Structure 1
Amino acid sequence: MKIIISPAKSLEFKKDIPYETYSKPEFLNCAEYLTKELKRLSKEEIVSLMNISYKLSEMNFYRYQSWNKDLNEGTRQAIYAFDGDVYKGLNAYDFNESEIDFAQNNLRILSGLYGVIRPLDLIKPYRLEMGIKLKNNMGDNLYTYWEDILTNYINNDLKDDKEKILLNLASKEYYKVLNRQYIDKDIKVLSPVFKEYKDGNYKIITIYTKKARGLMANYIIKNKINKLEQLKGLSQVKVGNYFI
């Protein structure tokens, strides 16, 4: 089984990390190409492209200008670098060594810049959401750039698994980069929906959904779940304040 999640806009590069083990992103050359395209943009163009403030565009402008493939400089393992609601639920700082190993083998982070990242892959601070319409040699947006690459990656990543399950805990923005038509037919794609019971109805509340995705990934990693039967049991499990 492989779990996919989205990255986070907020980053943490100062907190002490529990493990020094790291790996190298598989599509580092692709990230280098995209940063070359981003380096062409002015601060004002970044504001327009990403719909962010000038202050944020200025910070990211300098990130792009200084970006290179040197993993010995200004990098951090992805699972300790992202700091959004999903990652607060994931709580990777609490993982022991065997749980980190399980996460490394089974958890994948989709990324607008790096394509896909394993938990221990070293990354640099960046902001590049998958939905950004950055023109590139494959088309007018990042979906056209990454679609074939990431669909093939997922197929290959699952080909040796006994139970070929893709657990989609990513947002719609990131999950739709995968071409469902070309995902191998023997791969079962599961996309849980998280709702809170409020005022007599079950409702999707985005901020809680993000936390719940991280909590579910945490539970799977902590319990080393890799079979569909084990996954079905989660419907009876309370994780934090959420029932899955």
Structure 2
Amino acid sequence: MKVFLSPAKNMRAAAAALPDMTAPRYLQQAEALAAALRAKAPFELESILQTSPAIALRAAALYQDWTDAGGVPAILAYDGLAYKYLEAETLTAAELRFAQDSLRLFSAFYGPLRPLDAIRPYRLELAHRLDGHSLYEFWGRAFYDDLFGAGEAVVNLASNEYSKAVRRYLQTGDRMVTCEFLTYRKGKLRCLPTMAKMARGRMTRYILQNRIESPEQLTLFDWNDFRYEQSLSDNHTLTFIVSV
């Protein structure tokens, strides 16, 4: 079973070193993106990245300094809510080895990352366009092929922006199981982004610590009052709900 998770906008420039760090497998593509972004002025990056002048200026500095050498493990590099609840810094060596085989972290800049791939900070999302071209087009089937090459079931713990890079290539016989985390609010089930991100991170941790090998095993996940709801689930969706 393979699992994939979205990246986070915020990143750490430094983190604890981990044994057996690896090089990202799509460095040629990352170098091409870095060259294109390095050539942009900060005001151009402001438009491309759809962000503030201050963040665009910092992004410009990141690309001017970017190199394919060094970096920190991808699983420690991201600093969003899902990663805070994944708590990768407390995983054991055995759990990290399992993660290296089963977990993929999606990056608009580096492509499909293994947890121990060494990366440097960047600012780029799949929804962005570069020189008039979609980054979905740039990466093509890379995310899909990385996940489905071995014919295993795939668990989707990513946002729509990143799962879209896989969903568009799904074929008959592929099994991608999306985990949905819903909250009862004012009598209706809603996906609350903050709660969902936290639950995705914790679900990822649960998979790694328990060496989960099939989506069916995830029905036992029980965290922060999120519990599996069979009536809202099927072969391609596992729904977990919580009442507040």
User: Could you tell me the TM-score, scaled by structure 2's length?
Assistant: 0.88
Instruction: Please report how far the alpha carbon of residue 55 of structure 1 lies from its aligned counterpart in structure 2 after TM superposition.
Output: 1.2
Instruction: Please report how far the alpha carbon of residue 93 of structure 1 lies from its aligned counterpart in structure 2 after TM superposition.
Output: 1.2
Partner residue of 1:99?
Answer: 95
User: Percent identity at matched positions?
Assistant: 33
Q: Which runs of 5+ in 2 are unaligned?
A: 228-239
8 Å CA contact 1:111–1:117 kept in 2: the answer is yes
SS at match of 1:194: strand
Partner residue of 2:203?
Answer: 216
- Residue 55, structure 1, aligned to residue 42, structure 2: no
Partner residue of 2:145?
Answer: 152
C-alpha distance in 1 between matches for 2:145 and 2:186: 44
Partner residue of 1:76?
Answer: 72
SS at match of 2:189: strand
Instruction: Please report how far the alpha carbon of residue 131 of structure 1 lies from its aligned counterpart in structure 2 after TM superposition.
Output: 0.4
Equivalences, count: 228
Instruction: Please report how far the alpha carbon of residue 40 of structure 1 lies from its aligned counterpart in structure 2 after TM superposition.
Output: 1.5
Instruction: Please report how far the alpha carbon of residue 201 of structure 1 lies from its aligned counterpart in structure 2 after TM superposition.
Output: 2.2
8 Å CA contact 1:155–1:183 kept in 2: the answer is no
Instruction: Please report how far the alpha carbon of residue 113 of structure 1 lies from its aligned counterpart in structure 2 after TM superposition.
Output: 0.3
Partner residue of 2:177?
Answer: 190
SS at match of 2:106: strand
Partner residue of 2:19?
Answer: 20
- After superposition, what is the alpha-carbon deviation per residue over 1:207-232, rounded to whole angstroms, capped at 9, x for unaligned? 1111111111111111101024323x
**Comparing both structures, which one devotes a greater share of its residues to strand?**
2
C-alpha distance in 2 between matches for 1:118 and 1:187: 21
C-alpha distance in 2 between matches for 1:148 and 1:96: 32
The correspondence for 1:242, drawn from 226, 234, 237, is: 226
- After superposition, what is the alpha-carbon deviation per residue over 1:111-142, rounded to whole angstroms, capped at 9, x for unaligned? 1001110000000010111100113xxx7110
Summarize the alignment of residues 64-213 of structure 1 with structure 2, pairs less than 5 Å apart.
64-70=63-69, 72=70, 75-135=71-131, 140-156=133-149, 158-159=150-151, 164-180=152-168, 182-213=169-200
User: Could you tell me the TM-score, scaled by structure 1's length?
Assistant: 0.88
8 Å CA contact 2:181–2:191 kept in 1: the answer is yes
C-alpha distance in 1 between matches for 2:86 and 2:35: 32
SS at match of 1:120: coil
Q: Which runs of 5+ in 1 are unaligned?
A: none
SS at match of 1:215: helix
8 Å CA contact 2:143–2:165 kept in 1: the answer is yes
